[in-house]
Amino acid sequence: MRAGAVWAVRGAAGLLTAGALGHTLWNGVHEPGAALAFGILITVGELARRDQWADRRDEGAGRRPAPLASAGALAYALLGQNAGQPTHHGVLQAVAVVVAATLAGIVPHVARGRGPALDHLSRRVLTVAFAAVCFQPLYNSGRLEQWGGQGPYLVVFLLCLLGLTALCDAVLAAALSGARTGWPYGPLLRDELRAQLGIGAAICATGVVMALGVAVAGLWAIPVFSVPLLLTQLSFHRIAAIRTTYRQTITSLARATEIAGYTRPGHSRRVAALSCAVGRELGLSERELTVLEYAALMHDIGQLSLVDPVPAGATAELPAAEARRIAELGGEVARQTGVPAEVAVVVERQADPYREQPVAARIVRVVNAYEDLTGAAGGSRHPGGSLAALEQLRLGTGRDYQPEVVECLARVLARGGRDRVVPVPPG
């Protein structure tokens, strides 16, 4: 079912691309100057894309790795006039130009081994086609001008159309992501829609303004309206780089307990990976998942204050008072490192009864207990293995572990077919 959804989207995009390229090659290119100008814009937007395609947890530019190219593609799909003269390029040529320019822009990235995901290209083809199908026939037939003229009503129509296009893109993105990862569709769609309010809104606004500007001033309007979005794209890349560095710093700090011999190699990273999987199953937002990941990485940092290490670092088997003392010390250490206050609160509250904990702390407590019970990746400390460990967690749902979190963990593990969702090499 999930693979079928992916291939359905890819297949539709592939058929549309083949038809558009064949039609354009057979009939020639209408208004070649405009096609070349927008093609160059889309290619430059792809070339300006940095490094690799985004991590799902990165916001903003992370979901739109080439916003300038996306804005240019939408503007060409919504282009009705060029310096006052009607255009006649149509839907299929719009798709063909966007595909050709996108492929030209990604060639250098592919040559360096950092090619884009096929899903992203499929989404662009389908969203551009959707916008062009909704606009070009109405405009070229004159019906749009009869209904609202060329004034404010046209702008309102374009804005409404771009809202529907953004919704179409979000639906496709969530469906593809859900099919690829198995995560719940509802939270994925919510996160995609939320992302549309950030850089997605800037892309849509730039696409509309660029199309209207070219209609009045000609192709010279393209570079004028491209510069602000290009600068925004560079700023988002800088923010994404800072977030990556920040995550790497927290990961390195979390390894201090492993280096000091207080916890098993890879323990904090396994807990973080499995906690994020459980958080997605529960429908947490991207921001909540980021807090959860940081807290899971740092959940054992309080053990550095111990004179005698806990055997194998298994805090789940400690007396409640001792586990709470270690958690509170960890919260103090986390605050001193400068992490967000929510992260320190999760670390500090992870040993409390679950009814008094925030959701992230409930998740970390359950996943950490599961990891402690099953042991390192090379073996199992619990005589019954994973199933027996889950059963023991279920027995503790009266006070220690939230039942919903335990059942989400069980579903994640069953879907993964292994004791851990993301295996992490020790060290």
Written as one letter, the residue type at 108 is P
Written as one letter, the residue type at 388 is A
Q: What's the chain's average pLDDT?
A: 80
Q: How far is CA 196 from CA 16, 118, 190, 380, in A?
A: 25, 21, 10, 44
Kindly provide the b/e burial profile for residues 301-316, where b requires at least 16 CB atoms within 10 angstroms of the residue's own CB. bbbeebeeebeebbbb
pTM for this prediction: 0.72
Closest CA to 372 of 357, 354, 392, 352: 392
Q: Region 331-354: what's the mean pLDDT?
A: 84
Q: Are the CB atoms for 107 and 55 separated by under 8 Å?
A: no
Q: Which tens digits make up the pLDDT trace of 298-311?
A: 888 887 776 666 76
- Dist CA 401 CA 393 (whole Å): 7
Scanning the structure block, which residue is given the tokens 């070339």? 47
Question: Quick one: pLDDT band at residue 394, thresholds 50, 70, 90?
Answer: confident
Quick one: what percent of the chain has pLDDT higher than 90? 19
Distance of alpha carbon 143 from the chain centroid? 39
DSSP state of 31: S
3-state helix, strand, coil in the chain (%, to 5): 75, 0, 25
Q: Which tens digits make up the pLDDT trace of 175-185?
A: 888 777 777 77
Q: Are the CB atoms for 311 and 261 separated by under 8 Å?
A: no
For the chain, give the longest Cα–Cα distance.
82
Residue 424 has what pLDDT? 38
Residue 65 has what pLDDT? 60
Residue 234 has pLDDT above 70, yes or no: yes
